[in-house]
Amino acid sequence: MKFDKPATTNPIDQLKVVGKPLSRVEGLLKVTGTATYAYEQHAAAPNAAYGYVLGAAIPKGRIDSIDIARARAAPGVLAVVTADNAGKLDKGEFYAARALAGPDVDHYHQAVALVVAETFEQARSAAQLIAVRYTRSAGAFDLAAAKDTAPPPKAAKFTPPAETGIGDFASAYAGAAVKLDQYYTTPDQAHAMMEPHASIASWNGDQLTLWTAIQQINWGGRDLAKTLGIAPTKVRLVSPYIGGGFGGKGTILCDAVLAALGARAAKRPVKVALQRPLMFNNVTHRPATIQRLRIGATSTGEIVAIGHESWSGNIAGGRPEAATAPTRLLYAGANRMTRLRLAHLDLAEGSAMRAPGEAPGMMALEIAMDELAEQLKLDPVELRIRNDIQVDPENPGRPYSQRQLVQCLRTGAERFGWQKRPQRPASRRDGRWLVGYGVAAAIRGAPITTSAARVRLDQRGVITVETDMTDIGTGSYTIIAQTAAEMMGVTVEQVVVKLGDSRFPESSGSGGQWGAASSTAGVYAACVKLREAVAKQLGFQADDATFADGQVRWGGRSVPLAYAARTRELVGEDKMEYGELSKQYAQQTFGAHFVEVAVDAATGEVRIRRMLAVCAAGRILNPKTARSQIIGGMTMGAGAALMEHMVVDHKLGFFVNHDLAGYEVPVHADIPHLDAIFLDEVDPTMSPLKAKGVGELGISGAAAAIANAIYNATGVRVRDYPVTLDKLIDKLPLRA
């Protein structure tokens, strides 16, 4: 099915099932521990051996020799895989890092060997017997030191333009009545998902089956086949449940490659789960940034010039952090400039993490807007409203498909009680606490991509949906079930959803905030085909038939849906493809974050008291699961604002706090009750469902709103995240 014109009325608009706040259809499996995650596929891959990964002990250099004799002779050991016996290995198309070191070592904890044994303990013990001799070479680990010589990134897929410019930024900025010029930094951050990177591999002849934790089944099959040098048709990937991804499980990483190599060497299934330190120093993370914001405005607050420069670092072939992305779209301003620079660093690869670009970019941009508002003596909400724009500021002939940013800001201000915000920083106390309010806008792209599905109707009237879409805790099972139920006129209880298997039709996968809108559109297309098959079987006209309440009605006749499949199962399969609407319209999601914090006047300890997000993101397919996504993003924003920071040892070249004891993330005690509301919106330019994604909107801007609230509470402006108490304590106002 081709979607190349804005959607008109269709069966989804009935909203009998779609749009309802249904609980997750797979929820019972997850809360009872019966959902089978990658490392738990015992029945599918019986008698699996255990693999343990040995990581490199240097950050940069070469392996001179590797002696595996003692490890190979250890009790229970079945195989030891190194670069010497693994065979030729390529790399996938998405990640730049190599799965296995040798002879060169590219970064600390890059995999050097995999030990396969009968038990995990045997494999772990034997790994310590491997003797590796290295020659260390000089490496680069400090973004600030590499900043001034960092070149523009090379053009590549998923890499935004290195430089953009509209008008004459330099002249407009120089002549502006009010100017802001500040630097901001964001640190390296870890995905820190609960489920580790884990895989079980099994070979049947030359056919490989991999049960793995992965967001993009389609990318994973492609990249694993390319890495191993086998045909993609020889690879089957299975990933029905994923315990958190956040972009860190986009495609295959070393656990998948090493499990496949280990299973081939041991001639039996092998399971590999990365130990927690390797999830920080081996696989991907959000890279640190140094950002410079320059904004020039009139004396009444209209932006006349806005410039955003960002520096990040990565290994050879890695991509930049696209922190300038939100600045290109969020506010008006005739004269604009963005620049990205990418330094070579010999740390683990930096790559996608929830809202790549927007999340760290808005951590800087939205503080800068607050600082500009203070210079102008304007309310921060009012400054943002004055600089709203209804067309793409880089391409004024391209309107936004929907843009309710002003409505988000006004609704949020009213609901939050923004009028009670302290007008002067550090002016409100509650006992020992300094109290402040903060605000930030939110924007996140609404991409949509080709996605396919297969839908079956059996003689019981049960609808079965098959697509290789994944559910990373986001609610994919539920919204896909709701889509199929709405289209076929049945209840959600009559729909079975099967996900995460490369034998199913290729979907969009989970990532980039495109999963929900894309995968449900693919299911819509398949259901249209099934409706046609049902109508043909019944002798009805598909275009005029009504599917509702388990019945099919046409021309005065009403027949049970199950009756159409009384003699044979009926199947509909199709994919949704897209025309030029995304080029004709700027398709984005918008929101506004409001925060109240309290800061201990003596210690600088920060406590979040309230957070509110107001979002405009197309039709909300399921308000309950969508709200969960938004408050999850807000929680990650709180972590980014207050605690998350992978600390780099600039001498030894690794992330020091590489576990959940040293890398702090928010826990229940850190997070109060959060509120998230959605404005009414449908976007007919997106798909027949008129929906967008929301999974990454909740984190975009949230950290800056917290930082702005801390400034309002204390009068201390911190531009280097996270805002920890050591950056506040010696600057706090003296107690009366």
Q: What is the pLDDT of residues 499-549, one digit of tens each?
A: 999 999 999 999 999 999 999 999 999 999 999 999 999 999 999 999 999
Q: Output the six-digit token pair for 214.
A: 């992965």
* Cα separations in angstroms, 214 against 468, 509, 510: 11, 9, 9
> Which DSSP helix (H) or strand (E) runs through 466?
strand 463-466
> Which DSSP helix (H) or strand (E) runs through 529?
helix 515-538
Residue 577: per-residue pLDDT: 98
Mean pLDDT across the stretch 667-672? Answer: 95
- Give residue-wise pLDDT tens across range 336-390: 999 999 999 999 999 999 999 999 999 999 999 999 999 999 999 999 999 999 9
In the block, residue with structure tokens 């793995």: 212
Residue 448: per-residue pLDDT: 97
SS (H, E, C) 17-33: CCCCCCCCCCHHHHHCC
Pairing of strands 61-67, 131-136: antiparallel
Catalytic, out of 309, 466, 644, 696: 696
Displacement of CA 102 from its chain's centroid (Å): 31
- Whether the CA torsion 648, 654, 656, 659 is positive or negative: it is positive
For the chain, counts of helices (H) and of strands (E): 16, 32
**Which of 684, 699, 686, 681 has its CA nearest to residue 620?**
681
**CA angle in degrees (0–180, nearest 5) for 150-333-175:** 80
**Which of 99, 109, 96, 95 has its CA nearest to residue 60?**
109
* pLDDT surpassing 60 at residue 285: yes
* pLDDT surpassing 90 at residue 554: yes
Contact (Cβ atoms closer than 8 angstroms) between residue 36 and residue 240: yes
Sequence-distant (6+) residues with CB within 8 A of 632 are 698
Q: How many CB atoms lie within 10 A of CB 157?
A: 7
- Whether the CA torsion 372, 376, 380, 383 is positive or negative: it is negative
Residues of the chain with CATH 3.30.365.10: 2-35+448-580, 38-138+197-281, 397-446+587-727
**Which of 536, 523, 529 has its CA nearest to residue 495?**
523
* pLDDT surpassing 80 at residue 316: yes
Residue 109: per-residue pLDDT: 98
Residue 636: per-residue pLDDT: 98
* pLDDT surpassing 80 at residue 439: yes
> Which DSSP helix (H) or strand (E) runs through 358?
helix 358-376
Q: Tell me which CATH code domain 397-446+587-727 carries.
A: 3.30.365.10
* pLDDT surpassing 60 at residue 736: no
- Give residue-wise pLDDT tens across range 86-129: 999 999 999 999 999 999 999 999 999 999 999 999 999 999 99
Structure confidence at residue 734 as a pLDDT band (50, 70, 90): confident
Q: How many CB atoms lie within 10 A of CB 41?
A: 22
Q: What size, in residues, is the chain?
A: 736
Cα(550)–Cα(565) distance, rounded to whole angstroms?
Answer: 13
Active site residue 696: yes
Residue 157: per-residue pLDDT: 85
Contact (Cβ atoms closer than 8 angstroms) between residue 152 and residue 161: no
- Encoded amino acid at 669, one letter: A
Domain 38-138+197-281 has CATH 3.30.365.10: yes
Cα(237)–Cα(207) distance, rounded to whole angstroms?
Answer: 11
**Which of 134, 58, 56 has its CA nearest to residue 99?**
56
**Which of 674, 683, 673, 675 has its CA nearest to residue 616?**
683
Domain 2-35+448-580 has CATH 3.30.365.10: yes
- Give residue-wise pLDDT tens across range 254-281: 999 999 999 999 999 999 999 999 999 9
Contact (Cβ atoms closer than 8 angstroms) between residue 589 and residue 686: no
Task: Give all strands of the β-sheet with 451-457 in edge-to-edge order.
Answer: 2-3, 570-578, 451-457, 463-466, 495-498
**Which of 401, 511, 392, 588 has its CA nearest to residue 7?**
401
> Which DSSP helix (H) or strand (E) runs through 163?
strand 163-166
- Give residue-wise pLDDT tens across range 585-600: 999 999 999 999 999 9
Q: What is the pTM of this model?
A: 0.98
Give the CA dihedral 483, 489, 493, 498, nearest 10 degrees: -40
> CA neighbours within 13 Å on the CB side: how many for 66?
27
Residue 164: per-residue pLDDT: 98
Phi and psi (nearest 5°) for 13?
Answer: -65, -10
Mean pLDDT taken over the chain: 97
DSSP assignment of 285-312, as one string? BBPPEEEEEEEEE-TTS-EEEEEEEEEE
